[in-house]
Amino acid sequence: MAKLMEIRWHARGGQGAKTAAILLAEAASEAGKFIQGFPEYGPERMGAPILAFNRISDEPIHVHCHVTEPEVVVVLDPTLIGKAGVTEGLPENGVILVNTSKSPAEIRKRLKMEKGRVMTVDASAIAMDTIGRDIPNTPMMGALLKATGLMPFEKFMALMRSNLEHKFKSKPAVIEGNLKAIERAYQEVQSDDDKS
Amino acid sequence: MGKRVALTGNEAIALGMRQINPDVVAAYPITPQTDIVQYFASFVSDGQVKTELVTVESEHSAMSATIGAAAAGARAMTATSSQGLALMWEVVYIAASFRLPIVMPVVNRALSGPINIHCDHSDSMGARDSGWIQLYSENAQEAYDNLLQAVKIAEDKRVMLPVMVCQDGFITSHGMENLEILQDEEVRTFIGEYTPDYSLLDTKRPVMYGPLDLQNYYFEHKKQQAEAMKDALPVILEVAEEYRKLSGREYQLFEAYRMDDAEYAVVIMGSAAGTTRVVVDELRAAGEKVGLLKLRVFRPFPYKALQQVLGKVKAVAVMDRADSFSGFGGPLFSEIRAGLYDLETRPRISGYIYGLGGRDLGIDEIKRVFAETKMIARGGDAADLVTHLGVRE
């Protein structure tokens, strides 16, 4: 893993990008990493474009400025492509992960991306199947894990289980649904050829 | 050995308050309040603290009720941010002049208008002359550590002054970071029991708080308040040493980072100090003799200790996250300049106002400040004595 990994989440208010950034930060922290997880607070409301960020490192993190050149971008809503500057600051060896039923090749065309790596997964469909609602944040965490190799899959699932059990004590069905969603996205995410 | 956790700055403060288990918390529960009070309220509901939580109708009432509780001999706390601190104004001064050891977390956010919810230091800087001790925190760890130390500083019989524990709004208050926390028992042993010398409820030794105090004695009481603020400096260091033995984490009045042989330096407070430290490392790796002075204790203002460190460099850039609209830079800038005036050889000092209303302070802007300060250290002249950094003209 790179010394410091920076991740930017693009979503619409209500899709759970902030929660995903916080859950990812918690899991990485429990795995011994140094972390930051923070949303960009604005006049957010249901449906408005929002951003959230992660920094994950093997060493203590001191910076408190914005993430401007994330090597990983996660897009929870494909309708943000062309509107929210999703590829802004993405380096040539960066990865962009999109929640869509389309193939990486189609998304690459829409993004007008020549370099880097494009990955896609139908997180919304997975969320509908497993959780019963179109909340694509947790499945996208599974796809992100595959893209980054942040930690071994089994370790991540164990940490997520314990975090979700803590958060949803009274709703065991929600816990199992989310874990299944993460696992399916981890398996189903597609990547085109790395052009970096 | 502490326990490693991932928390937001506000969660860290609320957790510290749970460990402190104050007798009374009186707080306004609605915006501009932060989720510190929301988390703490759940600790109260879950029976994890014995605190009497009073949710009042305004911040003026929050501070008033906290003062009442503290005067009655309770260990009392509140928390606020931005406009909330502004509305407390009148009673904030009274807390200090009653010599009540209230501890108040402040989440630093901009003041209206225009309306803005993001980070700057205008709120607590406005209260800099209210007689409160002020500690500033770079991250969630420091906010937590400063909170625990604040209780012991405030309640020291040589001090008996209220303390604001400041952290940067959203940047650290709502951002999740790693920190190490102490065990509940360790915290309780560290802060000890609070035994007030004067309590309204002590009927055997009746006392009066807040009487009329005219030409005869008002001035003497103000002098005592001023002396207590000066006496707080060694107490803050003693408490820091005791805390170091407990936690392994070292605190001083300020952190002097790579200052030993520095030729020029930046002075800054709060979360941006972390970003500045990264820039210092980068410039040092390129052979530049740069340093960082991160001020932790703004009140009392430790000008003598600052003289020893800043007196050795050739140029200093002082960075304020607040404008005092004095026409002479931010509050930190003018106090650093005044504090170094008596030195026979003193650095040249320029001021930068940055980050108002949450404007990001990036690596490149800090590099620009260092580059300009280097030029001044080598005998050049600053384009402006005070610069509003990163503002569009």
The first and second tokens of residue B233, run together, are: 């400096």
- Encode chain B (393 residues) as per-residue pLDDT tens digits: 589 999 999 999 999 999 999 999 999 999 999 999 999 999 999 999 999 999 999 999 999 999 999 999 999 999 999 999 999 999 999 999 999 999 999 999 999 999 999 999 999 999 999 999 999 999 999 999 999 999 999 999 999 999 999 999 999 999 999 999 999 999 999 999 999 999 999 999 999 999 999 999 999 999 999 999 999 999 999 999 999 999 999 999 999 999 999 999 999 999 999 999 999 999 999 999 999 999 999 999 999 999 999 999 999 999 999 999 999 999 999 999 999 999 999 999 999 999 999 999 999 999 999 999 999 999 999 889 999 999 998
Q: How far apart are CA B309 and CA B296, in angstroms?
A: 15
Ordered DSSP codes for A54-122: EEEESS-----S---S-SEEEES-GGGTTTS-TTTT--TT-EEEEESSS-HHHHHHHHT--SSEEEEE-
The first and second tokens of residue B107, run together, are: 């989440």
Nearest-CA distance B118 → chain A (Å): 8
Question: Which of B7, B141, B176, B258 to mutate to test binding with chain A, by most A CBs within 10 Å of its CB?
Answer: B176
Q: How far apart are CA B152 and CA B149, in angstroms?
A: 5
Pairing of β B254-257 and β B290-295:
antiparallel
pLDDT at A191 over 60: yes
Assigned fold of B254-388: Rossmann fold (3.40.50)
Overall pTM surpassing 0.80 (yes/no): yes
Q: How far apart are CA B64 and CA B56, in angstroms?
A: 10
The first and second tokens of residue A187, run together, are: 């398996």
Contact A64 B168 (CB under 8 A): yes
Q: Please name the CATH architecture into which domain A4-190 falls.
A: 3-Layer(aba) Sandwich (3.40)
* B contacts of A64 (beta carbons < 8 Å): 138-139, 168, 171-172, 175, 271-272, 274-275
* B contacts of A66 (beta carbons < 8 Å): 360, 362
- Strand residues in chain B grouped as ranges (E): 3-8, 24-27, 52-55, 76-77, 80-81, 103-108, 133-136, 163-168, 176-181, 254-257, 264-268, 290-295, 297-299, 315-320, 348-353, 386-388
CATH 3.40.50.970 residue ranges for chain B: 3-192+214-247
ipTM: 0.93
Nearest-CA distance A98 → chain B (Å): 24
Ordered DSSP codes for B143-161: HHHHHHHHHHHHH-TTT--
The first and second tokens of residue B172, run together, are: 């650290």
Interface of A with B (CB under 8 A): 21-22, 25-26, 29-30, 34-39, 41, 61-66, 68
Contact B271 A39 (CB under 8 A): no
Contact A34 B178 (CB under 8 A): yes
Nearest-CA distance B158 → chain A (Å): 35
Size of the A and B interface in Cβ pairs below 8 Å: 61
Residue B120's contacts (CB-CB under 8 Å, 6 or more residues apart) are: B108, B109, B110, B169, B321, B322, B355, B356, B357, B358
pLDDT at B110: 98
Question: Which of A65, A160, A162 to mutate to test binding with chain B, by most B CBs within 10 Å of its CB?
Answer: A65
User: Quick one: B3-192+214-247 is in which CATH superfamily?
Assistant: Thiamin diphosphate (ThDP)-binding fold, Pyr/PP domains (3.40.50.970)
Q: How far apart are CA B224 and CA B342, in angstroms?
A: 25
Query: B312-358, pLDDT tens digit by residue?
Result: 999 999 999 999 999 999 999 999 999 999 999 999 999 999 999 99
Contact B320, B270 (CB under 8 A): no
As beta bridge partners, residue B255 has B294
Query: B18-39, pLDDT tens digit by residue?
Result: 999 999 999 999 999 999 999 9
* B contacts of A30 (beta carbons < 8 Å): 6
> What are the sequence ranges of the domains in chain A?
4-190
* B contacts of A9 (beta carbons < 8 Å): none
* A contacts of B168 (beta carbons < 8 Å): 64
